[in-house]
Amino acid sequence: MNKLIVAEKDKAARRIAEILSDGTYESKKVGKTNVYEYSENGDQHQVVGLRGHIMKIDFPEQYKDWQAKEPEELIRADIEKKPLHKGIVNSIQKLAEKAEETIIATDYDREGELIGKDALEVIQKQQKDIKNKRARFSALTPTDVKQAFNETGEMDYLLSSSGEVRQILDLVWGASLTRYISLTAHRYGDNFLSVGRVQTPTLAIIVDKEKEIEAFEPTPYWEINIKLQTDKKPLQAQHTEGRIWDETKASEIYSKIQDTATVTQIKTKTRKDKPPTPFNTTAFMRAAGAVGLTPSRAMSTAESLYTAGYISYPRTDNTVYSESLDIHQKLDMLGTHPEFQENVQKIKQQKKIQPTRGDKTSKDHPPIHPTQLASKDDLSKTEWKVYELVVRRFLATLSPPATKQLVTIKLTSGGEKFHSKGTKYTDLGWRQHYPYYKTKETILPELQENQELKIKDKQKESKETNPPNRYSSNRLITEMDNKGLGTKATRHNIISKLYSRNYIYGDPPKPTKTAEAVIETLEKYAERITQPDMTATLEKEMDQIIEGELEKQEVIEESRQMLEDIFKDLTKNKEEIAESLRTGLQKDKIIGPCPDCGENLRIMRSRRGSRFVGCTGYPDCNYSLPLPKRGNLIRTKKTCPDHNLNKLKVTYNKDKKPWTLGCPQCNYDEWQENKNKEKNKEKTEKNNK
């Protein structure tokens, strides 16, 4: 029998072929697509890898012209499915001609099931009645893969339907709203303003936080501290009132402090720090920030490690290890690794090994955990960072709590109360295996109650409250999860999209003026687009499709009705929206005052399309500065102290790192100076000849 096995990606296909053939497979090409062949028990097997989705959905050709159709018409427009990668589709069709059975071995989740279903439909166009099976696994290890192919099941069409609904909702919401806002703002071509079902509420979180920071007014307060002489190191103590909001009161306390302080109480208590729960996708992406990785980089690296068989499937909500996961076998495996040998030995010495449990369970995939040994030599630096993070998290979940001793020393001086707090770990527990959390100790000197100590120094410190912190991209993932925005598989891509759309820059991400203009306008005139409620509701309903509680068309119809209600708000406020966007978007181009006339300097484009800084006082003022030809320009909030101009950053849509252009005037002056030096050098060399 000729069997065709379809994997989600080429690397996964090669790995599956290697495992099932015990390394005896042969490679060939059908078109430009790699195919891995082997024989087993008289059956011929061909394993082919896709490139993720091989089909896409889109509107019919008549909707391509943004000017020809009203954006609202897209809500109920027909939707067509078209090949996304024609070469792979053609290769699969050719392979299907001789196939008698197909086994779908794409990732087992919503997107993977849809990818597999699309591939199966391509095959069935060639062989309508072909036998088909579904292989599901959570790790690309010999044990998992062989078991999956020995215990194949059927396609889960409810799961793939949920994926189809997600595609349709994203297309209809994104296309209709993006066109409406872009056309209203007269932003055409590559300059369009992107609006989306998930990305816009996510952007609103960032913009609202920025507004909160900008509106923050610091409040002054005072702290009173004393330094005391002991037999060993000095002891720092703080007034028990902490922040004192009245300076007069702070001065009164300060004036009462005598030359000595008396120890009135020494209190000791023990506290246990619980070990962390197993990694699901959200927790993993947040933890990856500790090793310097963005969510997007962390996920792409984790997927690479999964495909190579080193870790389990990285897209999971699960935080509970199943009973079938052989913890002791994993420990035996990791115990042979020189990096983790000592950690494993300590865990094995425990009286009982009891894994921690999170509050989320799912049947599709286990929490992220190591599946095979990897050495530093086999992996890139980034891959090793992620692999070690996964291993150490796994070890931490099998470890006992950390035990720390909290000591509080209470003192008085001049009737005023002070205290000093110390922390000492008596048992590091899980922390010795998982060094990504700070294990800070403050060791206090040994003292006795009623002991009198000399005060070496006293301070009345003036301070101010700080504004709230921005969300780091890793912390933003958790916030999205809490608000029901996106899924474990899409959240990191949403954040990446906000970067590529020039809505945010830096990390923690800061919004551009364009982002602020879009969100402020929508919050004022069509607030529902910026709120997570509707999107969270739709995400829950897509889960209900999987459970068979809702039909695909029910959810699509409800989303269309939601969108039609939103368009009523947009249409009613069209003129106000246009004016609000126009005013707000102008701010993103203004970088400061012209040194010649005092009018605004703006980022402009010439008739030929090249960018430059020009004066809004033109034609009366011709002042201008050059700008880079390539990359996306972002106006930062930092200003040049010499020229009072906003500094600029240049970002790229690809993986190329952004770079800081800085002040365009300073940049130009430096270029001019170097140019003059070069001219003088050439002149000197010419004269010397």
Active site residues: 313
Peptide bond into 532 cis (omega under 30): no
Q: Which residues contact 96 (CB under 8 A, 6 or more apart)?
A: 4, 102, 122, 123, 125, 126, 127, 130
Q: CB–CB of 134/154 below 8 Å?
A: yes
Whole-angstrom distance, CA of residue 59 vs CA of residue 168: 10
The 3-state DSSP class for residue 642 equals: coil
Q: Which of 15, 23, 13 is nearest to 46 (CA)?
A: 13
Which structure tokens are listed for 616?
A: 């809004």
Strands of the sheet with 600-605, listed across from one edge: 590-593, 600-605, 611-615, 624-626
Q: CB–CB of 317/279 below 8 Å?
A: no
How far is CA 1 from its chain centroid?
45
Q: Which of 103, 12, 95 is nearest to 52 (CA)?
A: 12
* Per-state percent for the chain, helix, strand, coil, to nearest 5: 40, 25, 35
Whole-angstrom distance, CA of residue 621 vs CA of residue 626: 16
Q: Which residues contact 620 (CB under 8 A, 6 or more apart)?
A: 597
Whole-angstrom distance, CA of residue 579 vs CA of residue 585: 10
Distances (CA, A) of 473 to 492, 511, 519, 635: 9, 12, 19, 20
The 3-state DSSP class for residue 563 equals: helix
Q: CB–CB of 629/621 below 8 Å?
A: no
Distances (CA, A) of 661 to 12, 231, 540, 680: 41, 55, 44, 26
Q: What single letter denotes the amino acid at residue 382?
A: T
Q: Partners of 452 in the beta sheet?
A: 262
Which residue is listed with tokens 């607030």? 527
